[in-house]
Structure 1
């Protein structure tokens, strides 16, 4: 597996591949939470490339199999998205990607959110030391669990 940190705004081919990965990955979460209105499924290529944060991607040859996006502040890191190709699930890719962000975070707190009914994602975060800090509706009718990991 090869990890890289490309910028989707500078590479149209990569942006299309990343958007395809995002849609297929988040379609699984939509099935788990029984609602397809989650924001990553509504995003288009313009929105994806306009976001100015950090990316790490996982590749097997020329196939994009995973990605994680995060933003940084002075005291905290916010995980914005984590996605794995349905054909590459259960192989530790999400865990490896999350590990990349945790290394980058250094001593800062790391925050994340996932669908409240997304048991695999909640378990992934728990495995890496995250604790649930509350549930919230975003948008109305879609429940997420907010998680934090203190260094």
Structure 2
């Protein structure tokens, strides 16, 4: 169900682009901030990212995805999105767990989200992330969460 995808493939990028617009619109409404990067970036900007993407596919459709940036000891979770019609089915949790289980040499994971995005914060905390800091960036209060595995 979860597999690595190539964001350079036009059809893949189009599916991710549509998915992130639906998913991040829900977050934008929760945190009352309409200028989230996934809502304002173009498909060309999406395709040019160096993030590594994984998808969750149901009946040939990408209904969930996660993207990461990785270095030797750290993974930064850049995007985590699920089609709103599939919310609360454990898909985001499975994507997070897939990243952790497929990167056993990594001991530090980080992610940021809007401080008002209580469902996301609850999800991250439920899989072992802890709030570390807050930052006001471009008018949005962000919370940075981290997880250490060793």
Structure 1 length-normalised TM: 0.94
Matched residues in 2 for 1:75 and 1:3: separation? Answer: 23
The one of 26, 34, 44 equivalent to 1:28 is 26
What is the aligned partner in structure 1 of residue 12 from structure 2?
14
Matched ranges for 1:113-124 at <5 A = 113-124=112-123
Gapped runs of 5+ residues in structure 1?
none
The one of 75, 81, 84 equivalent to 2:82 is 84
Residue by residue, what CA displacement relative to the aligned partner does 1:39-60 show, whole Å, maximum 9, x if unpaired?
1111111111111121110011
Matched residues in 1 for 2:57 and 2:46: separation? Answer: 19
Query: Secondary structure of the equivalent of 2:14?
Result: helix
The one of 55, 58, 64 equivalent to 2:56 is 58
1:147 matches 2:136: no
Query: Secondary structure of the equivalent of 2:102?
Result: helix
Matched residues in 2 for 1:72 and 1:14: separation? Answer: 21
Residues 30 and 36 in structure 1, CA contact (< 8 A), matched pair in contact too: yes
What is the aligned partner in structure 1 of residue 66 from structure 2?
68
Matched residues in 2 for 1:95 and 1:65: separation? Answer: 13
**What stretches of structure 1 move > 2 A for 4+ residues in a row?**
none
Matched residues in 2 for 1:144 and 1:21: separation? Answer: 22
The one of 34, 47, 50 equivalent to 1:49 is 47
What is the aligned partner in structure 2 of residue 127 from structure 1?
126
Residues 38 and 142 in structure 1, CA contact (< 8 A), matched pair in contact too: no
Deviates more, 1:50-59 or 1:122-131: 50-59
Deviation at 1:105?
A: 3.1
Query: Secondary structure of the equivalent of 2:69?
Result: strand
Q: CA RMSD in A?
A: 1.0
